[in-house]
Amino acid sequence: MGTIENSLYNIGYLETLSYQATPIHRLDPRVKLLTTMVFIVAVVSFPKYAVGSLIPFILYPVALIALGNVPVGYLGKKILIAAPFAVFIGIFNPLLDRQVMVHLGPLAISGGWVSFASIMLRFVLTVSAALILIAVTGFHQVCAALERLGMPRVFALQLLFLYRYLFVLGGEAARMVRARALRSFDGRGLGFGTYGSLLGHLLLRTLDRAQRLHLAMLSRGFDGEIRLLRPLRLHGRDVGFFLGWTGLFVLLRLYNISQWWGTWVMGLVK
Amino acid sequence: MSHHIIDIDDLYYSYPDGNQVLKGISFRITHGEKVALVGANGAGKSTLLLQFNGCLLPEAGRVRIGEMPVTKKTLKHVRRTVGLIFQDPDDQLFMPMVYDDVAFGPLNLGLTPEEVDRQVMQALAAVGAVHLKDRPPYHLSGGEKRAVAIAAVLSLAPAILVMDEPSSNLDPKTRRQLIDLLKTFEHSLIIATHDLDLVLDLCPRTLVLKEGRIAADGPTRMIMQDEELLASCNLEKPLRLQGCPVCHPV
């Protein structure tokens, strides 16, 4: 039963991170959203065996973590939670693709392992970029940005309400689960039967709440449109952030900087 | 000033499932009056409150807000005049930030951004919650949520405030602060509550609701002394009017 509350607390914590006032937090949410999207597209668009050329992209999350004051340990845990999905996507590659691609001294590495490494690297990069976006922007700001960028209003509202009532619903579920656990002994009462009725109750309560909520909105003049009074304005630093990073991503996508760097260092050594 | 009046005339209402909750209710509340609405659970208090601003429309009879009947056509005006504060602040605070929530109503009225800002800040100041404006509602304490929910309605500058159980789930000090706050309001005030001591403090007049009908309507002090009436409506003398257990142990 603690798990529901814990995960709620965790999501809430991600949100509290967004109240900070670092230079990254002050940027326009649209700029951060677009930059993150370009970053993700760039990372995902590399060919199957890309590893070396992906590594320089780590610069972006690292820079944002440092400037945006995002706790690395927390972020790491969040990434680990999602990691099994990526592992399962890539885990069969080493078994299916045994063609040796790279020799590291005596060690022969097959193409499967290389592509697996590539998948994991992409996973860490994209997931961390998305989490960092929420941590330095806040969910509702991301919604506002999505709406400004042309997402249909209905979806933006759905997302906003989903996020707002996630906490209420989660709290209610956690209390019900606890109440059940307190009156269940030796595992009796914890079966699927009660689980079904618990879920049913939760659904009914949610419908009731939705109705009250709608009344509350109507009472204050709701007419189908939600208006927000928070003008978003682009400043020079926003444009600079966007152009600087996306320029870098394009550059890193088109040219293999790691390779150049490697040859240059080797040249120095020789 | 005439729109501070609520006039209910022989009001009937049934829920769609056929359960008749209001069975012929009539009363009139005039400008600046503070009235308590008390009664047992299920007596119809909350249903009656929802009639005041047209959330529910009567099945028979009439609700008038300042000589204007509540109908589908007058809803916008009525809802601006009557501010309804819900029992559970979580039902009422649905926007991502406190400021947005308090601004929700004024923005829907189509005020200019400057006016909206002024209304919002005034409303937040009135309930002492200016410092909360950039917080999301789900991170607030119960008392803070209540204050913000009141501000969210005050920002519409209503003439009549209708509250459902305003003192529920508040600690004694927060409850006292709420009572002091409500004392400063010059609005007509209708409070549905089980907190009869709050009624003694705030409302000179009390309406007692019993099974969908008005069982009594009169000065609070008289009604609160009528133990027979109170008992028949699942109520009890306010604690302050009962004997002191230390001086007069039973």
**Nearest-CA distance from A218 to chain B in Å?**
8
Q: Is residue B58 part of a domain?
A: no
- CA B201/CA B189 separation, integer angstroms: 13
Contact A227 B107 (CB under 8 A): yes
Contact A164 B139 (CB under 8 A): no
In chain B, what is the straight-line distance between the N-terminal and C-terminal CA atoms, in Å?
Answer: 50
Q: Is residue B13 part of a domain?
A: no
pLDDT tier for residue A160 given thresholds of 50, 70 and 90? confident
- CA A8/CA A134 separation, integer angstroms: 15
pLDDT tens digit string along B35-67? 999 999 989 998 999 999 888 899 999 999 988
pLDDT tier for residue A155 given thresholds of 50, 70 and 90? confident
The first and second tokens of residue A175, run together, are 């209390």
Taking the Cβ of residue B166 and every Cβ of chain A, the question of whether any pair is shorter than 8 Å is answered with no
Number of separate domains in chain B:
1
Q: Is residue B242 part of a domain?
A: no
Pick among A160, A219, A233 to test the B interface (most B CBs inside 10 A): A219
ipTM of this model? Answer: 0.75
- Give me the domain span that covers residue B167: 32-50+82-235
> Bigger pLDDT: A196 or A76?
A76
- CA B38/CA B230 separation, integer angstroms: 10
- CA A216/CA B152 separation, integer angstroms: 11
Give the mean model confidence (pLDDT) for residues B80-108: 87
Contacts of B104 in chain A (CB under 8 A): 217, 220, 222, 226-227
Contacts of B139 in chain A (CB under 8 A): 12, 16
Q: Which residue of B has its CA nearest to A163?
A: B96
Contact A220 B104 (CB under 8 A): yes
- Asked whether the predicted pLDDT for residue A1 surpasses 70, the reply is no
Taking the Cβ of residue B103 and every Cβ of chain A, the question of whether any pair is shorter than 8 Å is answered with yes
**Nearest-CA distance from B88 to chain A in Å?**
9
Contact B100 A218 (CB under 8 A): no
User: Which of A16, A161, A223 lies nearest to residue B94, judging by beta carbons?
Assistant: A161
Give the mean model confidence (pLDDT) for residues A12-24: 85
Contacts of B132 in chain A (CB under 8 A): none
User: pLDDT exceeding 90 applies to what percent of chain B?
Assistant: 60
CB A2 within 8 A of CB A178: no
pLDDT at A229 (0 to 100): 67
Taking the Cβ of residue B71 and every Cβ of chain A, the question of whether any pair is shorter than 8 Å is answered with no
**Nearest-CA distance from A221 to chain B in Å?**
6
Which of A91-95, A103-107, A246-250, B11-15 has the lowest average pLDDT? A103-107
pLDDT tens digit string along B113-165? 899 999 999 999 999 999 998 888 888 898 999 999 999 999 988 999 999 99
Contact B108 A219 (CB under 8 A): no
Q: Is residue B16 part of a domain?
A: no
Q: Is residue B41 part of a domain?
A: yes
| CA distances, A12 to each of A69, A83, A168, A177, B134 (Å) | 17, 21, 12, 20, 15
pLDDT at A230 (0 to 100): 65
**Nearest-CA distance from B180 to chain A in Å?**
25
Pick among B78, B90, B119 to test the A interface (most A CBs inside 10 A): B90
Q: What is the largest CA-CA distance in chain A?
A: 78
The model's pTM is: 0.75
Find the CATH number of the domain harbouring B227. Answer: 3.40.50.300
- CA B159/CA A152 separation, integer angstroms: 37
Give B58's DSSP letter: -
- Asked whether the predicted pLDDT for residue B12 surpasses 80, the reply is yes
Provide the mean pLDDT of chain A: 85
**Nearest-CA distance from A213 to chain B in Å?**
5
Q: Is residue B231 part of a domain?
A: yes
The first and second tokens of residue A111, run together, are 């193409």
Which of A4-8, A152-156, B33-37, B77-81 has the lowest average pLDDT? A4-8
Residue among B174, B223, B179, B178 nearest B201 (CA): B179
Residue among A120, A44, A46, A67 nearest A244 (CA): A67
Q: Which residue of A has its CA nearest to B109?
A: A221
Q: Is residue B110 part of a domain?
A: yes
CB B154 within 8 A of CB B125: no
Sheet holding B205-210, edge to edge: B82-85, B160-164, B188-192, B34-39, B205-210, B213-219
User: Which of B53, B94, B107 lies nearest to residue A217, judging by beta carbons?
Assistant: B94
Residue among A155, A210, A201 nearest A175 (CA): A201
- Asked whether the predicted pLDDT for residue B2 surpasses 60, the reply is no
Q: Which residue of B has its CA nearest to A166?
A: B138
Cβ burial, residue B183 (10 Å; 0-12/13-18/19+): exposed
